[in-house]
A and B are shown apart, each in its own frame.
Chain A
Amino acid sequence: MTDPVMEVESFRSESAARVLLGRIERLLKRAGATTDKPVALMEVCGTHTVAISRFGLRSLLPGSLRLLSGPGCPVCVTPLIEIDRSIAAAETPGTIVATFGDMMRVPGSRSSLESARTDGADIRIVYSPMDSLQMARENPGREIVFLGVGFETTSPTIAATILAAEREGLGNFSILPFFKTVPEALDMLAAIPDRPLEGFICPGHASVIIGADAYEPVACNRDMPCVVVGFEPLDILSGIEALLQQVAAIRTGQGHARVEVRYKRAVTSTGNIAAQELLREVFQPCDAEWRGIGVIPGSGHDLSERYRRFDARERLSLDVAQPIEQPGCVCGEIMLGRKLPTDCPLFGEACTPRRPVGPCMVSTEGSCAAFYKYER
């Protein structure tokens, strides 16, 4: 049944928001939450992080609720060594690196793509991976390397691009696969002993592809409430309400964690089967390193045997030295839910969007960048 409060034109209605905020406050009381002992929920997706900040939701929510930002910004969790590798690809004579815009400013160990472009490397921002195929057609003598960053939201379109390149017989198109998958990361977070959070605001976009059932293991095996949430302010408030209903029930011994969808206009339980088949066809699961966190087993996508020739690492010599992260940065702890950006001694001082030290400050969807822009 739909909540009548959500029957509004824009999902941004102030009066509907007030109703939801009232319910949230009552649920927090029922759960026994106080400012000193708040309920902590984690929004996993960078787009949620930005939406929460952009709509000023923290200023409306009670102090007995803490929203933590998880590792859901694909740019932020791309390891330093892969940034260095992307720059090495761009500096290889005869190549053009094609990338989504938010990779440009991410600092590698010595430089960023933006800096490499200033120094003369051919790096082009594309809006769709398919644009890089056009580049390959127009530049037959050059190798086009697309930076394959993203979660399940983005990886199917890149899989489709690889299939299109194969059909067309384009020999000068390849990718650097830095893909990550959501459920494995959530499972790792939920399995942390003395975990600092009590529920996941699950990503709306990735869930369109993977379906809400993908969170069943996390909810059932780890007893962690999972609610799939949209990106409008009322969506987010409604998702928080659903999570708090579960938290209150669990805390009072009246229920167990489950998966709930509060974004039914876009997300089904099974997801987009065609996109999932694309992923299975072109990629295979692999262990992946998450910047600031470490290796999470099975949380990445590599090219499968059949499509391995589209891996830029097979074509170009892109060996780079193992870089060292700058000390002092607490991004890892932020993404694990243990700290807020404002808890970091570097935040806003040594680490700013212009000169980011850690991964969460680099992308527009990173939690530190969102805090810097909206919550100071």
Chain B
Amino acid sequence: MGNDDRVKLAHGSGGALMHELIESLIVPRLANPILESLEDSAELPDLGGHKLEGGRVAFTTDSYVVQPLFFPGGDIGKLAVAGTVNDLSMKGATPLYLTLGLIIEEGLKLSVLEEIIDSIAKAAAAARVSIVAGDTKVVEHGSVGGIIINTAGIGVIPDGVSISAARAQEGDVVILSGTIGDHETAILVAREELKLDEVIESDCACLNGLVDMLLRACPDVHVLRDPTRGGLGTTLNEIASMSGLGITIREADIPVAGKVRAVCSILGYDPIYMANEGKVIVIVPEDGANTVLKAMRSHPLGLEATAIGTVGGKPGVYLRTEVGGLRPIVMLEGVQLPRIC
């Protein structure tokens, strides 16, 4: 429409538009097999010919933009650590080192910056990662909404662990670590545009502890993915498309907090497409499912872990609804928009 030649906000939504931008404009120009796998983290076969003893290197980067900078359950600093730690964890890697890039807007209060850096330090300590390099830039007032943070991270994937969306297999069980939609709903409510008195906490958390625990219980996990932007629906579609298989999940088994359900239903949003920042989808062979579930439920971030579906059947992602109907879950084009009535 009119200006298909420009970048739109919807290109950043995590949906089909963003995938198209990445796959048609960015990846072909930078072509290499590591990038082309399009996983949460790159798996490096070697470091310029130097092999690593006992594992492979995982490497990733992510930038963080959020308004408000502080929200119930977290802040942009904690998010910047958790997001990158989680991207490494989703390859089964133990996260080790992070870099920190700060793009700060002129006029940001130093006390706010202090609070953000303290939060970064706290989250890094809890996740047992060190921030080992960084960069600071200051830009004119009004250009970045206070601060934008970029982090890159490096970790080691232990031998014997091989995790990739392409490894999903017919008959595998799909496990979800807890409730969906908390982060994005928390941010929506925290913006105060909805004028709700409710407080909803973001699930923002580093998942490496939980992942470590479940991998110890079952090293043969096939897929790990954190359903961030675009939510459970988009992430499952990525897995289905990379593995070429079908996935069917059961609506009745997907945990959604009451408050999140209520806010989404007012706006006409589907929690299945709402972003999470502390949840993981685990796909395991059927015979390992119970072991994994038990291990996850013994961790504070996995108390509500549930098997929500299985891999197999017609390619694509399907939902068995609460009343027993069946319908596809497609990848959204762009952002969900609040409806009229």
| A interface with B by C-beta (< 8 Å) | 10, 12-14, 17-18, 47, 50, 53-60, 74-75, 100-102, 104-105, 107, 110-112, 114-116, 118-119, 125-128, 131, 149-151, 153-154, 205-206, 233-234, 237, 352-355, 363-365, 372-376
Write 12 A-B pairs (CB below 8 A) sorted by A numbering. Answer: A14-B252, A55-B322, A56-B324, A60-B323, A100-B340, A104-B337, A107-B1, A110-B2, A125-B337, A233-B322, A354-B17, A374-B330
Q: Are B2 and A53 in contact (CB under 8 A)?
A: no
Residues of A within 8 A of B3 (CB): 111, 115, 118-119
B326 at the interface (CB under 8 A from A): yes
Q: How far is the CA of A308 from the CA of B205 in the complex (A)?
A: 53
Query: What CA separation (Å) do A118 and B270 show in the bound complex?
Result: 26
By a CB distance below 8 angstroms, the chain B residues around A206 are 341
Q: Bits for B306-341, please: 1 = Cβ < 8 Å to A, else 0.
A: 000000000000011111111110100110111111
Chain B residues, CB < 8 A from A54: 270, 321, 327
Is B10 close to A, CB under 8 A? yes
B193 touches A56 (CB 8 A): no
Closest to A149 in B: B340
**Chain B residues whose CB sits within 8 angstroms of the CB of A127 once the complex forms:** 193-194, 267, 338
Interface centre among A17, A56, A104, A374 (most CB of B within 10 A): A56
B6 within 8 A of A: yes
Q: Within the complex, which residue of B1, B333, B339 is in contact with A101, where a contact is CB–CB below 8 Å? A: B339
Chain B residues within 8 Å of A57, by CB = 323, 325
Contact A60 B325 (CB under 8 A): yes
Would A55 and B325 count as touching, CB distance under 8 A? yes
Q: Does the CB pair A353–B333 fall under 8 Å?
A: yes
With contacts A111-B1, A118-B6 taken as known, whether A354 is within 8 angstroms of B323 at the C-beta atoms is: no
> Cα distance A354–B9 when bound, in Å?
14
**B10 with A102: CB separation less than 8 A:** no
B134 within 8 A of A: no
Fill in one digit per residue for B5-17: 1 if any A CB lies within 8 Å of its CB, else 0: 0111110000011
Bound Cα distance A74, B340 (Å): 8
> B328: which A residues are within 8 A, CB to CB?
373-376
Q: Which of B188-216 contact A (CB under 8 A)?
A: 193-195
Chain A residues closer than 8 Å to B333, beta-carbon distance? 352-354
Instruction: Tell me the bound Cα distance from A107 to B17 in angstroms.
Output: 17
Counted as pairs of residues, one from A and one from B, with CB atoms less than 8 Å apart, the total is 130
User: In the complex the two chains form, is B322's CB within 8 Å of A59's CB?
Assistant: no
Distance from A174 Cβ to chain B, minimum over Cβ atoms (Å): 19
Cβ–Cβ < 8 Å partners of A110 in chain B: 2
State how many angstroms separate the Cβ of B258 from the closest Cβ of chain A.
11
Q: A100-B339, A111-B2, A118-B3 are in contact. Are A131 and B193 (CB under 8 A)?
A: yes
Measured in the bound complex, the distance between the Cα atoms of B326 and A58 in whole Å is 9
Q: Give min CB distance, B252 to chain A, whole Å.
A: 8
Please name all residues of chain B whose beta carbon is closer than 8 Å to the beta carbon of A12 when the two chains form the complex.
322-323
Q: How far is the CA of A18 from the CA of B333 in the complex (A)?
A: 34
Q: Is the CB of A102 within 8 A of B338?
A: yes
A50 cross-chain contacts in B, Cβ below 8 A? 268
A100, B323: Cβ atoms closer than 8 Å: no
The distance from the CB of B27 to the nearest CB of chain A, in whole angstroms, is 20
Interfacial chain B residues near A354, Cβ < 8 Å: 16-17, 333-334
Residues of B within 8 A of A56 (CB): 319-321, 323-327
Q: Which residues of B contact A131 (CB under 8 A)?
A: 193
Within 8 A of A (CB), among B44-81: none
**Chain A residues near B338 (CB, 8 Å)?**
100-102, 125, 127
Q: Shortest Cβ distance from A335 into chain B, in angstroms?
A: 17
B340 in contact with A373 (CB, 8 Å) = no
In the assembled complex, how far is the CB of residue B257 from the closest CB belonging to chain A, in whole angstroms? 15
| Distance A179 CA – B338 CA, assembled complex (angstroms) | 18
Interface residue from A60, A100, A352, A376 paired with B324 (Cβ < 8 Å): A60
Chain B contacts for A53, CB-based, 8 A: 327
The answer on a CB contact under 8 Å between B339 and A59 is no
| Interchain CA distance A107-B252 in the complex, whole Å | 37
Of listed B2, B3, B321, B323, residue having the most chain A CB within 10 A: B323
Residues of B within 8 A of A373 (CB): 328, 330
User: CA–CA, A126 to B337, complex, Å?
Assistant: 10
Q: Which residue of A lies closest to B20 (CB)?
A: A354
Residues in B11-34 with C-beta less than 8 Å from chain A: 16-17
User: Are B341's CB and A150's CB within 8 A?
Assistant: yes
